[in-house]
Amino acid sequence: MTIIRVGVDIAKSVFHVHGADRQGKTCWQGKYSRNKWLDAISKKVPDGAEIGMEACASAHHWARELQKRGYRVRLIAAQFVKPYVKSNKNDRVDAEAICEAMSRPNMRFVTPKSVEQQDIQAMHRIREELVAQRTAKVNQIRGLVGEYGIVAPVGIHQLRRALPCWLEDAENGLTYPFRQLLNDLAEDLRYLDDRIQKLDEQIRESVQRDPVAKRLMTLRGVGPLIASALAGALGDGKAFKKGRDFAASLGLTPKQHSTGGKDRLLGISKRGDSYLRKLLVHGARAVLRHAAGKEDGLSRWLKGLASRKHTNVAVVALANKTARIAWALIYKNVDYDEALAAA
């Protein structure tokens, strides 16, 4: 029996495999260490066979290693594997479920990411975490000084300017021990600002080296940060059949709740990549804010929509349109045409 499909349950140290032939019959099951499982695959499985894994931690790394050995790799989101678990959950059963799930004709797969894509996404993940830490630090400072009767100004920029004044003002009621603590918090805030600024510079430099990201920056509301994130998420764009599929993967399409032949569309689904969705929405909001006084096609479309619908509806509609256009620019390798953007 020739193995044509293998499900692999990956872990830190031990990997379980489940192989099936063309009829779907089990013809190989095994447990291998991290250092030996690839060699076991090479010995047991012919070139060109399909190897399936859950799209979890380290899956993209192993997918690239398997592709180097001539295998077709299928990554599956964990929620699509769960229905095929037949009994109590364990690694062996998970490998069998993956093998079964990848055989379904309508299964949705995740495209393995390149090293360059993972580099870009790593920068964005670190930056996002640093921004969250900075926000938490600012809120902590606001709360602590409030206990001493000081009302912090609105906005992080105003807070930065107020901190030295609080520390130098001897009449504001702050004790010496608290001034020392507040000075340490101010240093923490400066450190986070420096880290974020350094990452922003790295992202801008990476965009200048990437012709795809530079092309994406021609879109309205897309700067270096959004262009870099879009390029990292899309790759060559072939993971999606059309632009709407990419927008749906970001949760920018309506959620459907239909029954009895009656179609009912709700708000956006908010599934998928929440970080990129947030960036696109912020970019779209900036475009809407500056659309007044502009008479190009996209601005007229956006202002007309905002006059009929709630502002947030217009913003999300533009974010959806931006995602779809971004996919088209990458997938079709074309330049941005502003005349078509308003269509």
* Domain at 56, CATH number: 3.30.420.40
Is 156 in the same domain as 222?
no
Is 122 in the same domain as 205?
yes
Q: Is residue 21 part of a domain?
A: yes
* Confidence category of residue 171, pLDDT binned at 50, 70, 90: confident
Q: What is the pLDDT of residue 291?
A: 87
Give the Cβ contact number of residue 259 at 10 Å. Answer: 7
Q: Which domain holds residue 64?
A: 5-101
Total number of domains constituting the chain: 3
* pLDDT tens track for 269-313: 778 889 999 999 999 999 999 888 888 888 888 889 899 999 999
Is 131 in the same domain as 39?
no
* pLDDT tens track for 90-136: 999 999 999 999 999 989 899 999 999 999 999 999 999 999 999 99
Is 170 in the same domain as 190?
yes
Question: Which residues, at least 6 apart from 45, have a Cβ–Cβ distance to it below 8 Å?
Answer: 3, 6, 19, 51, 71
Q: Is residue 53 part of a domain?
A: yes
212/231 Cα distance (integer angstroms): 7
Q: Is residue 85 part of a domain?
A: yes
Q: Is residue 173 part of a domain?
A: yes
CA-atom Rg of the chain in angstroms: 26
Is 13 in the same domain as 94?
yes
Kindly report the average pLDDT of the chain as a whole number: 91
* Confidence category of residue 265, pLDDT binned at 50, 70, 90: low
Is 280 in the same domain as 229?
yes
Is 199 in the same domain as 234?
no
